[in-house]
Amino acid sequence: MKLSSALLAIVASLSYAKKDGQALSPPMGWMSWQRYVCETDCETYPDSCISENLYMKATDLLVSEGYLDAGYSQVSIDDCWSTQERDDNGDQQANPDRFPSGLKALGDYMHNAGVKFGFYSDIGTHTCGGYLGMKGNFQRDIDKFVSWGIDYLKLDGCYEDIAEMHDDYTEVSKILDASGRDIVFSCSWPAYVNNHGEDNDGEILQTLSEICHTWRNFDDVADSWNSVSSIIDYWARNTTDIPFVQVSGPGSWNDADMLMVGNNGLSLSEERTQFALYAIFASPLFLSTDLTKVSPESKAILQNREIISVNQDQSQQGIVLSDISNDPDWWVNVRTFGRALSDGTYAVVLQNYGNMGPYVNIKFDVSLLSQIGASVTTESQYTMRNLYTGKDVEGTFTGDEFVVPVESSSVEMFIVTLA
């Protein structure tokens, strides 16, 4: 994709995020939305309704199941926590039946466990689930949320005029800056804009990178390969040089939406694919699963320290380096993704996105890394470390010598070190 000179000038002049030292790596945690949506019937669904119990249990499990140690440091409330009307003072309050101890107590519970308190509201008149939004009450609501001790605010974009998003998100960002509390700001924009910003609207881009630490680009994730692969395709379509990639980096991350690893809709191969590629995309990593039901295999994916460390690298997100749909071998559909890491190595994911036939032998061509700044030729030598086996591959390779079989709907992930 070629950029206009005006857009290139905008990208060149970007000041990179709020520069407040927050979200230097993509945020990580657990978020209720995809797995628990907006179930409010606690009588019928006591273990899975949106209530303080759900978030307290998630906090406990994050700690006891090793996720906090692996880097998942926050529990995030999503939609449907509030009452339907403001109180007599005009403030938002949590639903008293489902949050009888109140949100300050819930935040304290998380903080005492060493977990950050992630929060949710909407910039429009209502949330997507029809609960209270912040429109017209930005200062009042932020004051209230700060008094509850929130550390992260996902501010959704339902029931908001798109033409007002620029000014409204900017205003909230300023109020957060002046709040006296460190709060990571997650904007749901351009997710609501036509074409999800794929036409690279320069104004949106410049604003986002100045006022939000992270922002949702694309559709809501669902627990299916169809949904997860559509998100991957969004980034694979938007190849080299796109401004959204160029503004990613410390304090400024594109959010590909929650991880589905640990749920029911993806095979293990598909789970590996989502996790590996979210590391390349430098996306926030939010689990949205019942932490009591994660299989040992899925847990091993979620707690793979080497892949997490690629995700958390304080560098620009990676891109697709090649995408081959081989006619007449129509069953061959393979991509190479790469991300330049700050220690001078490269994370590479070889994806077989075909869904017919057995494995495909994917060749890795080291010269592709020139697209992400490596000084390489077809003769360059390199070694490979496989991040899913946790082992170095034996030998040193030259050019496109390295070949690995990759199953359909699956990936292999490596760290490439230039010799």
- Annotated catalytic sites, by residue? 156, 220
Of residues 115, 108, 120, the one with CA closest to residue 59: 115
Kindly state whether residue 218 participates in binding ligand GLA, applying the rule CB under 6 A. Answer: no
C-alpha 343/C-alpha 385 separation (Å) is: 15
Find the shortest distance in angstroms from Cβ 155 to ligand GLA: 10
Residue type, 115: V
Interface residue with ligand GLA among 78, 141, 151, 160 (CB under 6 A) is 78
- 200 conformational bin, left if phi > 0, alpha if psi -120 to 50, beta if neither: left
What's the distance, CA 149 to chain centroid?
23
Instruction: In the chain, count H helices and then E strands.
Output: 13, 17
Q: By rule CB under 6 A, what count of residues binds ligand GLA? A: 9
Find the shortest distance in angstroms from Cβ 352 to ligand GLA: 29
Kindly state whether residue 29 participates in binding ligand GLA, applying the rule CB under 6 A. Answer: no
Of 226 and 377, which CB lies nearer to ligand GLA in the complex structure? 226
Identify each DSSP E strand in 125-198 by its residue range: 152-156, 184-187
Kindly state whether residue 318 participates in binding ligand GLA, applying the rule CB under 6 A. Answer: no
C-alpha 409/C-alpha 267 separation (Å) is: 9
C-alpha 393/C-alpha 70 separation (Å) is: 25
C-alpha 312/C-alpha 306 separation (Å) is: 10
Of 232 and 384, which CB lies nearer to ligand GLA in the complex structure? 232
Find the shortest distance in angstroms from Cβ 257 to ligand GLA: 7
Q: Which residue is nearest to ligand GLA (CB)?
A: 128
Of residues 219, 38, 49, 54, the one with CA closest to residue 126: 38
Q: How far apart are the first and last CA of the chain?
A: 31
Kindly state whether residue 25 participates in binding ligand GLA, applying the rule CB under 6 A. Answer: no
Of 14 and 37, which CB lies nearer to ligand GLA in the complex structure? 37
Contacting range for ligand GLA; rule: CB under 6 A; set: 99-107, 127-135, 177-185, 363-371: 127-135
Contacting range for ligand GLA; rule: CB under 6 A; set: 97-105, 121-129, 336-344, 399-407: 121-129
C-alpha 333/C-alpha 330 separation (Å) is: 7
Q: Which residues between 142 and 161 bind ligand GLA (CB under 6 A)? A: 156
Q: How many residues does the chain have?
A: 419
Give the per-residue contact string, 184-213, with ligand GLA (x = CB under 6 A; - = no): ----x-------------------------
Of 79 and 270, which CB lies nearer to ligand GLA in the complex structure? 79
**Strand 397-398 to 381-386 pairing:** antiparallel
Of 123 and 245, which CB lies nearer to ligand GLA in the complex structure? 123
Kindly state whether residue 33 participates in binding ligand GLA, applying the rule CB under 6 A. Answer: yes
Q: Which residues, in sequence order, are CB contacts of 65 under 8 Å at separation 6+? A: 291, 294, 299
Kindly state whether residue 289 participates in binding ligand GLA, applying the rule CB under 6 A. Answer: no
Of 154 and 339, which CB lies nearer to ligand GLA in the complex structure? 154
Interface residue with ligand GLA among 61, 77, 128, 259 (CB under 6 A) is 128
Kindly state whether residue 79 participates in binding ligand GLA, applying the rule CB under 6 A. Answer: yes
Distances from the Cα of 27 to the Cα of 194, 208, 256, angstroms:
26, 16, 12
**Contact (Cβ atoms closer than 8 angstroms) between residue 337 and residue 233:** no
- Which residues contact ligand GLA (rule: CB under 6 A)? 33, 78-79, 127-129, 156, 188, 220
